[in-house]
Each structure stands twice: as C-alpha cells, then as structure tokens.
Amino acid sequence: MRILFGVQGTGNGHISRSRELVRKLREDGHEIEVIISGRKAEELKEIEVFEPCRVMKGLTLVTYKGRMNYMETMFQLDLVRLMSDVFTLDTNGIDLIITDFEPITATAARIRNIPSMGFGHQYAFRFDIPLARGSIFEKYTLLNFAPARYNAGLHWSHFNQPIFPPVIPQTLYSKQEAAIVPGKILVYLPFEEVEDVAAFIQPFNEYDFFIYGKVRADLDDGHLHFRGYSREGFLQDLMECNGVVCNAGFELPGEALHLGKKLLLRPLDGQIEQESNALAMEELRYGMAMHRLDPDILYQWLLLPGQEPLRYSRTVDYIAEWIGSGDWEGLSRYTDAAWKNIF
C-alpha cells in the first residue's frame, strides 16, 4: 500500500511511537510518505527514519509553568495556513492516511474521502476508558483535533475495550537489561521551568536525580544531574533508574511500566488527556499522581518499592498486521492478540 503518515511533532512521544510503526510498515513492504507538523524543522531531533518527510506548520498547543495557555494557543493559530496546507497536499495514489494526532493529514483524509486511521493514545478516548472532568471545549478538542475513520488507540490497560498496548521502542526489547543503580531517579518534566524542578527535588539529597526537559547542556550539581537532549542517554538512564517522575503523557509512563519502574505523574493543568492519564494511573494502581510539585507526595513516593515489569508485546507488529490485512473493521481480533501474553 501507499500510505501517507502524519506525525504530531509537538511531543517526543508522538515521534517515538510513530518511528516504530513507520519502520515496521516499511519492513512489510509498504510505501510510506511522512508529514510532521506542530514544531519547527530545526527543533526536531532524530527523524532520519521518517525520510522522505516534509515539515509543515500545523497546530501547536502552548504551555507555561505546567499549565495549558489557551489564550496564547489561540493567538498563534494560523487556520488560513492550515487549510492552505490541506488543500495543496498531494494525495494522488494514496491508499491510506495514518495520523498520529496530526491535523493536516486527518483533515485531508476527511475532505477527500480517503480511508484514514488514527494511531496513538488520543484515539483510545473514543472507547470507554477513564476520562477526567473537563470543559466541553477540552473534550471536543481531544476527540476532534485530528479525527480518523478507524482508530488504533493505545493505553496501559485494555479496560475491556478494543485498544492496543503501548508502543515500546525497539531499543528496550533488543538491549541487554541494565543494572539498577540504587537511589537513581529519572525526572522528565518538560512543561515545568528547570529552576522550579530543581527547587522541588533539592531537599532529597539521599537520591540522585537525572533531570531532562528544558535543559540545554549536561551539568552535575551534587545529587542533581541535568541532562540535555539525548535519546540514547535518556533510555539508558530509564533502564538504570528506580523510578520516574514525569508529566502525565503516555509514552514514557508506558516504557516505565514495561520495565517495572515506579511512577509519579504530574499532569499538565488544563489538559484533559494528561488529567485522564493521571486518573487512570491511580485507578490501575500502577503509580501515584500529584497536581503540583508537591514535596510531601514526592517523599511518600520515594519510600515505595518498585513493581513488577508488565512486559508489553511488540504492539507495532499487531497494528501493522491489522493495517496490512485490510480488515479494518475487525479491530478486536488484533487488540485481543496483542494483550494475550501480558496479563
């Protein structure tokens, strides 16, 4: 098949999971063209696997100090540019459009009546799973930002719904397991300011914190270890750590659960997806959540033991098989198989 694949570039999680599915689909013989939107080309890292790909403006959600900034989000919207990109997008000969929450490809599929498939965590919310309270606007945006005809939703548990397990990077299957370093904690809070994160964890000097996010360069300051962007370094620290403190996105908590790391989530205020993820994490008893940088909760969490690894399946194998089958209405057959050996 000839597939147009849209990737939302605003979060590293979208890029991480799409990287795995694009690689698998190409291995299966499909011809893939990739569009990335939502982030400037010069800000994108390690996207060689997507080539040939194009970078477009798309839509971006603006945050500040751990909260959604809807006013700034509205100011930076360029709907004229968005629709221009939709109508000038060349879809001749495309058999299927896959969108990982990417609005240009999703809108083009709907306007031109091309079969479309939503791939990612956001598409799990079309099924009966934990959903936090939120405004009508928030719920509408979650479900209609980049809708698709068929939905390959992802979550940490199936909740008795036809959704897939998380997509785990191939590296975490193929690498030999790293030895756990006592007292090592991975911190990834990209929506918080670095100085706020440092002040939050500074008192707990019996632990070593490896901090990623808005960090420009590596710096070791006592028990605080600041790290600039490095996918390889990040995954190594993830494998070695005892636990992970992070925003309530989806991909990193899934990787941590796969490896058996304890989790403390800080959802982005005003973002219904992250609030829902925090709710699900606590309902499943897979981890804890805090709704501000709360030292008391961090203290309680640091004393907790680890947990058993969930060892998720190679989800992209099942999704790629579903895509290649053409039986897109028969979703549950493939989701059931993906969960079969996990619980």
Q: Identify the CATH number of the domain in which residue 319 sits.
A: 3.40.50.2000
199-247 pLDDT, tens digit per residue, is 999 999 999 999 999 998 999 999 999 999 888 899 999 999 999 999 9
Q: Is residue 84 part of a domain?
A: yes
Q: What is the DSSP string of 57-89?
A: ------EETTEE-HHHHHHH--HHHHHHHHHH-
The CA distance from 119 to 122, in Å, is 8
Mean pLDDT of the chain: 91
Looking at the structure, tell me whether residues 10 and 157 fall in a common domain: yes
Strand partners, 224: 209, 221
32 and 154 part of one domain: yes
Residue 118 lies in a domain: yes
pLDDT for residue 10: 82
Is 307 among the domain residues? no
115 and 47 both lie in a single domain: yes
The range of the structural domain enclosing residue 179 comes to 170-302
Looking at the fold, whether 39 and 107 belong to one and the same domain comes out as yes
Question: Are 51 and 164 contained in the same domain?
Answer: yes
Q: Which two tokens stand for residue 81?
A: 């540019």
Residues 121 and 270 reside in one and the same domain: no
In this structure, are 159 and 40 located in the same domain?
Answer: yes
Instruction: Please check whether residue 308 lies inside any domain of the structure.
Output: no
Q: Give the residue-averaged pLDDT of 285-302.
A: 97
Q: How many domains does the chain have?
A: 2
CB of 159 within 8 A of CB of 129? yes
Q: Are residues 203 and 140 in the same domain?
A: no
Q: Which two tokens stand for residue 302?
A: 């640091």
Q: What is the pLDDT of residue 51?
A: 87
DSSP secondary structure letters along 143-199:
HHSS--SEEEEB-SS-TTSS-BPPPPPHHHHHSPPPPP-TTEEEEE-TTS-HHHHHH
Q: The dihedral of CA 77, 78, 83, 85: what is its sign?
A: negative
pTM beyond 0.95: no
Tens digits of residue pLDDT in 324-343: 999 999 999 999 999 996 75
Q: What is the pLDDT of residues 12-35, one digit of tens each?
A: 889 989 999 999 999 999 999 999
Q: Are 64 and 83 in contact (CB under 8 A)?
A: no
**pLDDT band at residue 273 under the 50/70/90 scheme:** very high
- Considering the domain architecture, whether residues 152 and 32 belong to the same structural domain is answered as yes
At residue 73 the predicted structure's pLDDT band, cuts being 50, 70 and 90, is: low
Q: Is 74 contained in some domain? A: yes
Residue 293, φ and ψ in degrees, nearest 5: -75, 90
Closest among 31, 41, 38, 42 to 7, alpha carbons compared: 38
> Is residue 85 located within the same domain as residue 194?
no
**Given the structure tokens 């004393």, which residue do they identify?**
303
140-172 pLDDT, tens digit per residue, is 888 888 999 999 999 999 999 999 999 999 888
Q: Is residue 210 one of the residues assigned to a domain?
A: yes
Q: Are residues 88 and 131 in the same domain?
A: yes
Identify whether 216 is part of a domain. Answer: yes
Check whether residue 124 and residue 206 sit in a common domain: no
